[in-house]
Amino acid sequence: MKFQLISQAYAQCTPGEGGVDLGDCLKLSDSTPVKEIYNNPAFLVNLLVRNLFIVAGVYFAFTLFMAGYKFITKGKEGIQEAQSLAINGLIGIIVMFSAYWIVQIVALITGADVGL
């Protein structure tokens, strides 16, 4: 299975044109201009936020792994470090998911389409 964040884009403008609008020049693989699909900054923010949730989840898993490793290998002083790491990771994941649900509640109340 092949993973692509966006479809392939091809440049369709000839060199030397003045006032080139890249949204018109770049076409996706189905000849759709890029500006028809990615037409506002909200799309980019939405894409970044979704991917940051994934990165944060991986970081949380890594933090818990490191806390467990320190707990097992470092003895008494490792227990303090492990506890600190685990608590900080847990606080981070709680803040992240709280922010997500707050945005969802605000979107439900206001009727805004946030797309998350």
pLDDT in the model for residue 98: 92
The full DSSP string for 84-107 is: HHHHHHHHHHHHHHHHHHHHHHHH
Q: What is the pLDDT along the chain (116 residues), one digit of tens a residue?
A: 566 666 665 555 665 555 666 666 777 777 777 777 777 777 777 778 888 888 999 999 999 999 999 999 988 888 999 999 999 999 999 998 898 889 888 888 988 776 66
How far apart (Å, rounded) are the C-alpha atoms in residues 90 and 94? Answer: 6
How far apart (Å, rounded) are the C-alpha atoms in residues 43 and 19? Answer: 24
pLDDT in the model for residue 64: 93
pLDDT in the model for residue 68: 92
Main-chain dihedrals φ then ψ at residue 4, nearest 5 degrees: -135, 135
pLDDT in the model for residue 83: 92
Domain positions in the chain: 1-38, 41-110
